[in-house]
Amino acid sequence: MITFEEAFEIVQNAAKLTLKTERVHFIDSLGRILAEDIFSDINMPPFDKSAMDGFACRKQDIGNELKIIEVLPAGSIPKKNVGKNQCVKIMTGAIIPEGADCVLMVEYTDETPDGNVWYTKKSTNTNICYYAEDIKKGELVLSKDIEIKPQHIAVMASVGAVQPLVSMKPRIGIISTGNELVEPDLIPSSSQIRNSNGAQLAAQVVRAGAIPNYYGIAVDTREATFSVITQALNENDVVLLTGGVSMGDFDFVPEIMIETGVDIKFRSIAVQPGKPTIFGTFQNTTYIFGLPGNPVSSYTQFELLVRPFISRLMNNSHLPKTIKIPMGGEYRRRKSERKSFIPVTISSDGKVYPVEYHGSAHIHSYVFADGIVSIEIGKEKLEIGELVDVRQI
């Protein structure tokens, strides 16, 4: 059995970056992974620009009465130069007229009875945003491989990058297995439970920026399982299969994966929950994860192992981040042969607290969880005040 860190490494290194790219309208690019560098086609600001509403004049004339020679809204071109004891009434964003070297803020000015302007303070900042001080024409403004956020859309807008190139979303096939399962819209009989993993994984896939394809609950025969795995491998970039991966007599999924041509890279990980997690590759272009049937195990291994893999496939340079936060409550466990992942809440006092958790079938423990923290092999306790890495969920 390998460690979680070894499994993570194997999974990340297996990813061949074969996803195609596509151009989308920049307004629709939120959450996509940028697949090209973006350069500015203009200088920003494109001219010396007033940062304030006020009066553009010469600094050396502060203290004198100034005559207004022009009124200048944003978007207009100045017609006059500013000379001694002259000023231009100017709006935020407008072009600084020739001759002026500062803008007096309107809040600190008075008008004289004959319509001139009088500055009530002794000195001023220039209040000018200078030509090209933020960005120069040709400068790199967005690097490829970032996940696009609203502020990046603003940058694209400002440089006219209205059709950015982004990675295609990977297609993720989802297969549930288990004779005891019925779909959520049915009433389970006495030996059945509803399938919660399929829908949960579909939602996790959407949140990871990919496209879920749900294949339903596989009939629990070798033939049917072989056939649905083969179909899913051929129709997707990644296949997620839940259930049928532990040591029970009816858990023939790993064997069938091999029969379909999957090269299994590992069959279990020293983690809790999620030990019977399988990973394999198919013809070096498609990937398959066998996740445990318990909803908490499946949820956790998706977030910690599969989601960073999907990010990697899209060439996202930022894997999901952890944040270091101190423990507000203690956590103890009796066995420490495996790395454990435990659900926590992040409290307003800046600390994390473990939530009540009955085990890997107890998905309700995650209802209030904000994050997952881990406890290493050999460690039985997280102390109050101990700094832990929190993966927000």
Q: Could you give the angle at the alpha carbon of 164 between the alpha carbons of 162 and 169, nearest 5°?
A: 135
Nearest distance from C-beta of residue 292 to a second copy, angstroms: 9
CA distance 275 to 338: 9
DSSP string, 75-144: TPPP-S---TTEEEEE-TTPBPPTT--EEEEGGGEEE-TTS-EEE-SS-----EE-TTSSB-TT-EEE-T
- Residue closer to a second copy, measured from CB, 228 or 355: 355
Distance (Å) of CA 367 to CA 150, 341, 344, 362, 393: 28, 16, 10, 10, 11
Closest CA to 298 of 226, 353, 377, 241: 241
CA distance 313 to 140: 24
Say whether the peptide bond before residue 45 is cis (omega within 30 degrees of 0). yes
CB atoms within 10 A of CB 216: 13
Nearest distance from C-beta of residue 26 to a second copy, angstroms: 7
- Residue closer to a second copy, measured from CB, 61 or 303: 303
Extract the tokens encoding 228. 């649905």
- Residue closer to a second copy, measured from CB, 196 or 281: 196
Nearest distance from C-beta of residue 285 to a second copy, angstroms: 27
Nearest distance from C-beta of residue 144 to a second copy, angstroms: 13
Extract the tokens encoding 238. 């990644």
Extract the tokens encoding 64. 């004198």
Which residue is listed with tokens 């023939």? Answer: 252
DSSP-derived 3-state class of residue 313 = helix
Q: Do 354 and 295 contact (CB within 8 A), yes or no? A: no
- Residue closer to a second copy, measured from CB, 206 or 284: 206
- Residue closer to a second copy, measured from CB, 67 or 194: 194
- Residue closer to a second copy, measured from CB, 14 or 363: 363
Nearest distance from C-beta of residue 380 to a second copy, angstroms: 17
Output Rg (C-alpha) for the chain, integer angstroms: 30
Say whether the peptide bond before residue 170 is cis (omega within 30 degrees of 0). no
Nearest distance from C-beta of residue 283 to a second copy, angstroms: 30
Q: Do 131 and 43 contact (CB within 8 A), yes or no? A: yes
- Residue closer to a second copy, measured from CB, 44 or 175: 44
Nearest distance from C-beta of residue 147 to a second copy, angstroms: 12
- Residue closer to a second copy, measured from CB, 20 or 321: 321
Extract the tokens encoding 22. 């596509």
Nearest distance from C-beta of residue 263 to a second copy, angstroms: 25
Nearest distance from C-beta of residue 257 to a second copy, angstroms: 18
Closest CA to 62 of 29, 84, 90, 40: 84
Q: Spell 15-41 as b/e; 16+ CB within 10 A means b.
A: beeebebeebebeebeebbbbeebebe
Nearest distance from C-beta of residue 349 to a second copy, angstroms: 7
- Residue closer to a second copy, measured from CB, 16 or 184: 184
Q: Do 48 and 303 contact (CB within 8 A), yes or no? A: no
- Residue closer to a second copy, measured from CB, 229 or 369: 369
